[in-house]
Amino acid sequence: MMALLMMIMRKMVKNKWLELSLLSGLILSVALISSIPIYTEAILQRVLLKDLENLQASSGRYPGTVYAKVFMGSTSYWDSGDYEPEQRPQVLKDTNAFMQEDAAERFGLPVKHLVMEAATELYSFIPTDKTKVESETERLAEIAARSDLYDHITLIDGRLPASEPVDGIYEALVVQQSLKALNMVLGHVFEIENGDAKTKIKVKPVGVIDKLDHSDPYWHNHLDEYRKTFFIDYELFKAHFSSSKALPAASASWLFVLDYSGMDLNSVHQYMQTTERIDTHLMNRFSTYSLDSPAVQTVETYFQREADLRLLVWSLYVPLIILLAFYLYMVSNLITERQKTEISVLRSRGASRLQVLTGYLIEGMLLGVIAYAAGPPIGMLLAKALGASSGFLAFVDRTALPVKVTDDSYLYGLYAVISSILMMLFPVFQATRLSIVGQKQQMGRRTNRLFWHRYFFDIIAVAIAIYGLFAFNRQREDMLQLGADVSAFSVDPLLFLVPALFILGFGLLALRLYPLIIRFIFRIGREVWPPYLYSTLIQVGRSGTQYQMVMMFLILTIATGLFSASAARTLNDNLEQKIRYKNGADIVLKSHWLSESSLASSGGTQRIQYVEPPYQAFTELPGVKSAAKVFVQDNAYTLVGNERGLTKVMGIHTADFGRTAWMRDGLLGNHFYEYLNLIALDPKAVLISRSIADKGIRPGDVINVGWSGVEPKTFTVYGIIDYWPTFNPNTMSMTEEQSNAGRPSLVVGHLEYMQKAMALEPYEVWIKLDENAARQPFYDAIAEKKLSLAFMTDTREELQRMGNDPFQLALNGVMTLGFLISVIISFFGFLLYWLLSLTDRVLQFGIFRAMGMSFAQMIGMLITEQILISGAAVLIGGLVGSVTSTWFVSLFQISFNPSTQVPPFQVMFDSSDTTRLYFVVMVMIVMGLLILGWRLSRIKIHQALKLGED
């Protein structure tokens, strides 16, 4: 065995550069695949924690709590309870042990507090000294205790109770609401009026308490719920009541306060399983119980999101995995080509195919072990880089993802190692079919076609992709016609798999045809080509299969880069434009208006009179570039003849509105500003939506507009609009008749005229901020000026939430990382292939020099060869990428709800994306050429013939 290992090691050292190239590909493959679970878990953890924090902010409840309460005694007149008083101590002991020793250890999260509370049933309390305390009041209360109570309260009045009965009296604490609810003061003694009590139970309230910290998660209930509760010392309650020595406990509760800041996908599963375990335990033992966990509903959505995100990330990685597979196959094939003679000799001397494969398997395993050890940590770095991407080849300085190497990452890495080793063994398996005679015969034959051309894989891949294109186009048309509802943004992974298949198939198809084109060019000018060009055309035309790997690398890199750039730009921009259009401006807010009812108007309807708050205060806020008053009445109506229709009315100041509102170019027949200028001079001029115009209204016609409590006024139509900031002209799925009757409509007019002629009512304030203005000074100024707001919408905040969505992060991050890795792989593949090609052709170069070809002509030959191979690959990749983007990016419209995607979906191309992409690729090629030129200058070509003779 040692001899075999030494032989393998010597062989690896002999081909050290090829082996290092193979090892780098293996490490990158393992790193890439292992980054999938690392990235998925990190991004979902960040979003989960953010959602839990938002839950706490909106509800005021700490998300890391699990609260369970059981009832052992009677809960009503007809219910005697689950357990008799003598059974309850053991039941309480067993349940408490389960909570403390079982459940608390299974959450997978640190337990900050485990609060146990127990209470008796409600009893009637009467004063012992009826001369000092009013005795007619019915005082129903319970005796209770809560663990660690003294650490979480502050005394408002009185003192803490004694830990033992004082003269047979239990001292207790009460909340402030108890003094009124039980009509009592501190220091008076009350006793239970109960015939079942073994002894007279007397209680004296000695202190009034309040929460030490009102945000403390120790308190699950409001203090008002304890207004009929006497809190005694916890250990005293355990000794006298939990044991039924004095009175039996009737109910008990446990509050787990968990530190959710470290919650990840692994602990999420443990959290849910433990919560279900508690539920099952209580269900089997108590007929009446409650279990409350605020985070459960939020957490449940993440299991489906986890599955969806993993599927999406896998689909985004497919083109990159294909590229890595090509790279591993190419390097393995290069190693095998140089060892075919050795393999054939072994086969001719009696070695079986299995024995030969075993040697190469051991070699692959040695490399695989190194890749397996190094891959996941590098994958963690890749995942961290993914989290900083905000678009294709665009990075932002955001909080780093909480990445860490997980068990799943090593499992994924193991799968990658096994798959890569099998890929590496494939060329060896093919080589073991030949003996030494067969191998020499094959060397003398013309190069065979590659297997993907031999079995028409390119034709099949293109056919499947085109079928998918037609299927998605039909689905898109159906959704647009029916207005199918898509509740949230989601991306079908097939929208990435099908284009990847098309790029691969189209690229292979181009490589099938390319050698034929080169031969055709050669034959056209075979009588006139100079020697160096003649040789180059023959070399490329007859040895096309030798260069197809490096050409395929470049084609895949360029094509996937162009597609990724267009897809990322399209998805990001359409989502951003949807938010900007929906809101209308950077900031939209509305003040609280003071109002009072007026006398009945002449029409007999009641109208509210409002007092307009100061508007100038908003224009003077920090960072404000412009502001506009925008009156919006959603429940207005139009009168056209005898026909009355529901409509939305918007009142504006045209100049301010134009400076402030956001509107995408191209949505209207003319520029947005021209419509504002059209109505600017006539106070009664209005713009109407297409849905109103379809009722026969034309520019110049008159319509009446009004709303509840306001008499309709006459306006003149000046223009017809299809879109307007915040206006959605689309309808949900309905019949054509319903659609025509219920289509949304809009009337845009002058705010000043509406206020004077109709009514002064609350309006919104739209604000456009300076591009680089910070938000915090803006918010601080609102608080400082004590501006009372009914609502405020911040577009930048919504855009940030969109950018932090796990699916958006995955799209941007994986596309960017995929392109950069493909460039790196292509560079090494490109460089490796050409360096080996130069080495193999030293003898040929020597012959050319001996024939009289100058060094400059040889350089020209290599440059021409690079143009015909690398240059052609870049052009083909650009063609494939452009066709793929044009045909397939428009299909992403399927991922958006047609009824809410306003402005309409638009495929985006940005020249800056293409420029950056080609710049990176050209830098790669130029660096490769410089290294090749340096390498060529080091080769002693004048000794080539001597080497050939040797």
User: Helix, strand, or coil here: 750?
Assistant: strand
The residues pairing with 727 across neighbouring beta strands, listed in sequence order, are: 724
Question: Residue 49 contacts by C-beta under 8 Å, 6 or more apart in sequence?
Answer: 260, 261, 263
- The mean per-residue pLDDT over the stretch 835-843 comes to 72
CA–CA separation, 212 and 209 (whole Å) = 9
- Least confidently predicted of 54-58, 481-485, 728-732: 481-485
- The confidence band for 656, taking pLDDT boundaries of 50, 70 and 90, is very high
Specify the pLDDT at position 78: 43
Specify the pLDDT at position 752: 93
Residue 203 phi/psi, 5° resolution? -130, 140
Residue 945 has pLDDT above 70, yes or no: no
- Least confidently predicted of 71-85, 127-141, 577-591, 837-851: 71-85
- Least confidently predicted of 207-216, 564-573, 583-592, 842-851: 842-851
| The model's pTM | 0.73
Question: Residue 936 contacts by C-beta under 8 Å, 6 or more apart in sequence?
Answer: 838, 858, 859, 862
Residue 521 has pLDDT above 50, yes or no: yes
Residue 149 has pLDDT above 50, yes or no: yes
Choose from 55-64, 119-128, 814-823 the range with maximum mean pLDDT: 119-128
Specify the pLDDT at position 629: 94
Angle, helices 872-888/544-583, rounded to nearest 10 degrees? 40
Specify the pLDDT at position 199: 65
- The mean per-residue pLDDT over the stretch 815-834 comes to 76
Q: Which has the higher per-residue pLDDT, 604 or 395?
A: 395
Reported residue count of the chain is: 950
Residue 145 has pLDDT above 90, yes or no: yes
Q: Which residue has the tokens 């139509």?
A: 717
Specify the pLDDT at position 45: 82
Provide the Cα torsion 353, 359, 362, 367; round to 10°: -110
Question: Residue 620 contacts by C-beta under 8 Å, 6 or more apart in sequence?
Answer: none
Query: 513 burial class (0-12, 13-18, 19+ CB within 10 angstroms)?
Result: exposed
Specify the pLDDT at position 373: 92
Provide the percentage of residues in the chain whose pLDDT is more than 90.
27
- Give the helix ranges, DSSP H, for 785-910: 795-803, 806-840, 842-850, 855-866, 872-888
Q: Which residue has the tokens 């009914």?
A: 790
DSSP letters, 395-448, are E---PPP-----HHHHHHHHHHHHHHHHHHHHHHHHHTT--HHHHHHHHHSPPP
Number of other residues whose CB lies within 10 A of the CB of residue 757? 15
Number of other residues whose CB lies within 10 A of the CB of residue 117? 23
Number of other residues whose CB lies within 10 A of the CB of residue 23? 19
- The mean per-residue pLDDT over the stretch 830-857 comes to 74
The residues pairing with 211 across neighbouring beta strands, listed in sequence order, are: 153
Q: Per the structure block, which two tokens stand in for 374?
A: 């190094």
CA–CA separation, 22 and 16 (whole Å) = 10
CA–CA separation, 812 and 835 (whole Å) = 35
- The mean per-residue pLDDT over the stretch 895-913 comes to 75
Beta carbons of 621 and 690 less than 8 angstroms apart = no
- Least confidently predicted of 40-54, 160-174, 280-294, 441-455: 441-455
User: Helix, strand, or coil here: 789?
Assistant: strand
- Least confidently predicted of 78-92, 310-324, 350-364, 596-610: 596-610
Beta carbons of 622 and 775 less than 8 angstroms apart = no
DSSP letters, 809-830, are HHHHHHHHHHHHHHHHHHHHHH
- The mean per-residue pLDDT over the stretch 247-266 comes to 87
Nearest to 428 by CA among 329, 550, 546: 329
Question: Residue 112 contacts by C-beta under 8 Å, 6 or more apart in sequence?
Answer: 64, 217, 257, 258, 259
- The mean per-residue pLDDT over the stretch 739-750 comes to 78
- The confidence band for 466, taking pLDDT boundaries of 50, 70 and 90, is very high
User: Helix, strand, or coil here: 254?
Assistant: strand
Residue-wise pLDDT for 292-309, tens only, equals 998 888 888 777 777 777
Number of other residues whose CB lies within 10 A of the CB of residue 188? 14
Residue-wise pLDDT for 331-375, tens only, equals 787 777 777 777 777 777 777 778 778 888 888 888 889 999 998
Residue 853 has pLDDT above 70, yes or no: yes
Specify the pLDDT at position 864: 81
